[in-house]
Structure 1
């Protein structure tokens, strides 16, 4: 799963990177995004007839959800079932988005020890997580991040990872419709190899901590080959 990630680029920077119009509120950088936090997303807007950088609550709330707390259980949608799940399929068909990120966190456990790892592009480029969105009660934009089976070195940290879309696939993803298997293809081996697996301090485990020190490399207490958390 992807339960914590970092997104630190400004709305203006995201507009340039994604060739989009900004309609989002100013959120500021976050090195420790947690479920139900407001996050930037890029989606296709009929109203603006363009891509827009918007703000969404992380954790999809289907229109029939009665309690906003339900979103904390729907931060991720599995790529293997997103096209058929009653909660996620309508958004997958018509309301897809990109979720900009610098990288994401996972944990490895070995006995009583627990080590956080940060996965991030070695060249510091932006990541675009495949996302879906919907409106809850016609006033709250909410989203989920798609996950897929982890591959390569990333599988030594966790068995799942965000579905990451390279730039050449952004337009097809945002367009809606399309061939599901092609849309849900994982990264190529070369693209996966460009992602660094970085041990970091345990501070990220506390949602109240938020700063660039959370993504700074640290001496690992647990190697990635230990038991997956």
Structure 2
């Protein structure tokens, strides 16, 4: 799964904020479900979306009335699941991140770990699904079974795409093994609270 991540540092990259038609959010190191995150979709300008998917057919009056836990979607199930199947066909997106967190341990307090690219890439590109609900764009991060580079910290991981896979995903690929080759590294970090933020959160535990 993926329940917390950090914003990417897009300054000085091919998607530098100055080239985007949006105002940058100050970089966050503890992005939580229901907060706004940056998404990229084929044929559309980058935009912000609420990270907690709400299907377009939901009849509630407020997004928070949608009670299902849909900040993640399992790639093995999303195409057939009523909540996600329309977005699987028409709502593909990419969600950039600088890394994400997982926790290990059977009892609280659990040990947090920071997970980032094992290579020189500063940005991880998560496969996502987006859905407009009323006047609100919402999204979910697609997950898969963890590969060997991430399995030590959790049995699931985000679907993380390389350049060719990003194009394929946005083009509608149905390959549930997409992203299997992502290479990650992880290390333990100090415990932090829900309200904590700042670059110090991702410092290795001494």
- Within 5 A, what are the aligned runs for 1:48-87? 51-65=44-58, 66=60, 67-69=62-64, 70=66, 73-87=69-83
CA distance change for structure 1 residues 4 and 125 in 2, over 3 Å: closer, same or farther? same
Q: Which residue pairs with 1:24 in the alignment? A: 22
1:96 equivalenced with 2:92 (yes/no): yes
CA RMSD of aligned residues (A): 2.3
Q: Secondary structure at the match of 2:150?
A: helix
Output one character per residue of 1:123-172: Cα deviation in whole Å (capped at 9) or x when no partner: 252100000101110x1111000000011141111111000011112222
Q: Where in structure 2 are there 5+ consecutive unaligned residues?
A: none
1:185 equivalenced with 2:204 (yes/no): no
The answer to whether the Cα contact below 8 Å between 1:91 and 1:133 also exists between their aligned partners in 2 is: yes
TM-score, length basis structure 1: 0.80
The answer to which structure has the higher helix fraction is: 1
Q: Which residue pairs with 2:194 in the alignment? A: 207
TM-fit CA distance, 1:40: 0.6
The answer to which structure has the higher strand fraction is: 1
1:3 equivalenced with 2:33 (yes/no): no
CA distance change for structure 1 residues 166 and 71 in 2, over 3 Å: closer, same or farther? farther
TM-fit CA distance, 1:184: 4.2
The answer to whether the Cα contact below 8 Å between 2:131 and 2:139 also exists between their aligned partners in 1 is: yes
Q: Which residue pairs with 1:224 in the alignment? A: none
Output one character per residue of 1:1-60: Cα deviation in whole Å (capped at 9) or x when no partner: 10000114247746249xx96233421211100000001111123xxxxx5221111011
CA distance change for structure 1 residues 12 and 141 in 2, over 3 Å: closer, same or farther? farther
Which residue, out of 173, 183, 186, partners 1:197? 186
- Within 5 A, what are the aligned runs for 1:104-123? 104-122=100-118, 123=120
Q: Where in structure 1 are there 5+ consecutive unaligned residues?
A: 46-50, 220-229
Q: Which residue pairs with 1:165 in the alignment? A: 161
The answer to whether the Cα contact below 8 Å between 2:53 and 2:70 also exists between their aligned partners in 1 is: yes
CA distance change for structure 1 residues 213 and 52 in 2, over 3 Å: closer, same or farther? same
Structure-2 separation of matches of 1:159 and 1:127: 19
Structure-1 separation of matches of 2:100 and 2:14: 18
CA distance change for structure 1 residues 24 and 72 in 2, over 3 Å: closer, same or farther? farther
Structure-1 separation of matches of 2:14 and 2:101: 21
Q: Where in structure 1 do 4 or more consecutive aligned residues deviate above 6 Å?
A: none
Q: How many residues align structurally?
A: 202
